Amino acid sequence: MRPVYALLNLVFFYTWKEISAYTPCQESMLTVRYVTSCPTDEVSWKERAGKMNCESRRQNCAMSLGLITQNHRFQYHCLINSHMNETLEVCALSRYILGFCAEFNTNGALVQENFDANCKQYNPPCPQYYHSTKAYRYQYCYELVYKQRKIQNKKVEAEENDNHTAVIDDAEEIDYAEEIDASAEVDGTGEVNKAVVKGPTAYSNCLTGNRLMLLLLILLRILII
């Protein structure tokens, strides 16, 4: 019996034009604004709605589809996108959502259910159907975006840290190479430099040996005399 009742509900809400506007409207795309977060309650929702003033925007979508324009006019929405990685504000035709998080699909230019986000199983759970302008009541839907955004930010930070470490390592290698170049002969290598450094020491040792030989010769002459 329950499946039949659910099916009747589905047909009811998708066919009764004065309640559900499952219709695309490209004019909505002109109003899309990506935001970092959505309102958390009715008061903040109304404040943001007042700033966008969606009701004053002209659109022909409702009239062209034979909908009653008094019921189907642009209304403020702050919803997740289809990929659940962005939150956006938009003026769009409102409609009833059936048991899932509400999204604004930028490809179809309409408000619809995100069937990958079942909000009935979370606290507070969303009802079997609710109006899209009441999406702020179900904050779990926005949390899906916020969590994914945090994960992405951590990945970016990790990549930046890895790049920074690589730059430091490269800089240290360059400094070390410059130190070697500074102590090298213009036309020589490290081995040549060692020879150059050892040159004065070897000369000094040579002088010391000659002096010893001279002293020995003097002593021999003294003994012979």
Check residue 19 and give its pLDDT.
44
E strands, 69-209, in order: 74-80, 87-93, 96-97, 101-105, 110-114, 130-131
Examine the pLDDT at 145 and tell me if it is beyond 90: yes
- Single-letter amino acid code for the residue at 26: Q
Check residue 209 and give its pLDDT.
62
Cα 218 to Cα 105, 204, 206, 225: the distances in Å are: 108, 22, 19, 11
Residue 81 to residue 97: CA distance in whole angstroms: 15
The alpha carbon of residue 223 and the mean position of all alpha carbons in its chain are separated, in whole angstroms, by 95
Higher pLDDT, 39 or 176: 39
Q: What is the mean pLDDT of the chain?
A: 78
Backbone angles phi, psi at 58, to 5 degrees: -85, 140
Check residue 194 and give its pLDDT.
46
Query: pLDDT tens digits, residue range 46-66?
Result: 999 999 999 998 888 877 766
Extents of the domains making up the chain: 2-145, 191-225
Examine the pLDDT at 41 and tell me if it is beyond 90: yes
Secondary structure element (H or E) that encloses residue 175, with its range: helix 140-182
Check residue 179 and give its pLDDT.
65
Query: pLDDT tens digits, residue range 86-101?
Result: 999 999 999 999 999 9
